[in-house]
Amino acid sequence: MRIVAFLKKTFLENLREWKILSVTLVFAPFFVYLMHAYFAASTPSYRLLVVRHDRSAGAGDLAAEGLVAAWRAVRHPDGQPAFIVKEVVDVSAAQELVKRREAELVVEIPAGFGQSLLDFREGRSTSPARLVNHGDEANVRSSMAMAYSDYVAHLWAVGVTGASFPLELDVRGLGTGRPVSDFDLYVPALLVLAVIMVMFTAAASLVREVEKGTMTRLVLSPLRTGELLAAVTLNQLVIGLVALTLTFLAALTVGYRTDGSLPAVLVVGAVATLGVVALSVGVAAFMSTMFELLTVGCFPFFILMFFSESMIPLPRITLFRLLGHTVYANDVLPTSLAVRALGRILNFGAGLPDVAFEVIGATLLAAVYLAVGSWLFTRRHVAVA
């Protein structure tokens, strides 16, 4: 009963402190739209700039325009073009566009390209025709575009010259078959970002009691520390799941689609929220005022956001293997495990059993952090309120 009374109280306080609650709820959906504007609008098609020096029509079906047509014909499984091909004349200007990442690749088709192929087919020459790629090795998309366009060019050349291809490639996708855009890869992280925002509302629920002295009344009352923290946790769990749902809905409004299990997403979201609340209790142990929380408290918030890869993907540092799973350095954060689990569920169709390692790991971490946070909070604010 005491938990219910205190739960109602924290819920009312959260509603009435609507500015903090609003930011918590709309922060991640805002980033969904922002990320979508930057990434999803950029489409999974690679922008290919073709400089065609070979204008002779004498090569017939071996003419360079056939290769351009071949690139244009390649489609993703959903029907979207693999390349957006644009013919240009100025190589330098095209290179600038690649440097500015407004295109992924410049391909120069040298003069005499069609004739070289014709000579090769008719045995007059063994020298292969040349293509010149101008790519940005620092841009992963550029490298991908280069490999993909080269592959298409080889297939086309083999086809038109009748040469035998020394390799037979059998490509088997591990995904759902549905193309996954950069934006799609960000969505799981943004869902966890929504949950990370709960750190402020959770810690504020506790720090407010300390700052205003009402913790004294609670300490003297029969309310136990465990009941206080349980009520705050339940309340924040609701806020976390609402924030996660709003973020997911925001992603759907901009075209995000998934075949993943939504109940599994909610389970992972709930575990991630518990982890964030547990960390928040530890943060609240070191704060005495709301001002401190909203300034000093930003440090653990950014730590959590950064190392959970909620905004920026990081290279993974392997620590060890456990039960057949690799454990990475940032897996000490429950939110990091949650990002990985959500990514597999949403973008690769994994079910809850497939991410059991991550879910159990995040749950255990949340329990450990909650135990440590409760101990710290009790020592700092309850025992000497």
Interface with another protein, residue 385, by CB under 8 A? yes
Q: In 3-state terms, what secondary structure has residue 190?
A: helix
- Cβ neighbours of residue 220 closer than 8 Å, sequence gap 6 or more: none
Considering only residues 11, 17, 311, 348, which one is a binding residue for another protein as defined by CB under 8 A?
17
Question: Which residues 292-331 are close enough to bind another protein by CB under 8 A?
Answer: none
CA distance 317 to 49: 37
Nearer to another protein, 15 or 317 (CB): 15
CB nearer another protein, residue 212 or residue 257: 212
What phi and psi, each to the nearest 5 degrees, are found at residue 109?
Answer: -105, 105
Residue 362 to residues 159, 214, 341, Cα–Cα distance (Å): 52, 33, 10
Q: Which is closer to another protein, CB of 210 or CB of 243?
A: 210
Q: Which stretch binds another protein (CB under 8 A): 11-19, 41-49, 105-113, 330-338?
A: 11-19
Least separation in angstroms between CB 213 and another protein: 4
User: How many residues are present in the chain?
Assistant: 385
Separation CA 132–CA 51 (nearest Å): 10
**Which part of the chain contacts another protein (CB under 8 A), choosing from 2-10, 20-28, 276-284, 333-341?**
2-10
Q: Could you tell me which of 333, 314, 305 has the C-alpha nearest to residue 200?
A: 305
d(CA 21, CA 245): 15
**Both tokens of residue 42?**
């950029």
Q: Is 380 in the site for another protein (CB under 8 A)?
A: no
3-class state of residue 170 by DSSP: coil
Residues in the interface with another protein (CB under 8 A) total 26
383 binds another protein per the rule CB under 8 A: yes
Task: Show the site string, 193-222: x = touches another protein by CB under 8 A, - = not.
Answer: -------------------xxx-xxxxxxx
Please list every residue from 64 through 103 that binds another protein, using CB under 8 A: none
**Site of interaction with another protein (CB under 8 A):** 1-2, 4-6, 8-9, 12-13, 16-17, 212-214, 216-223, 382-385
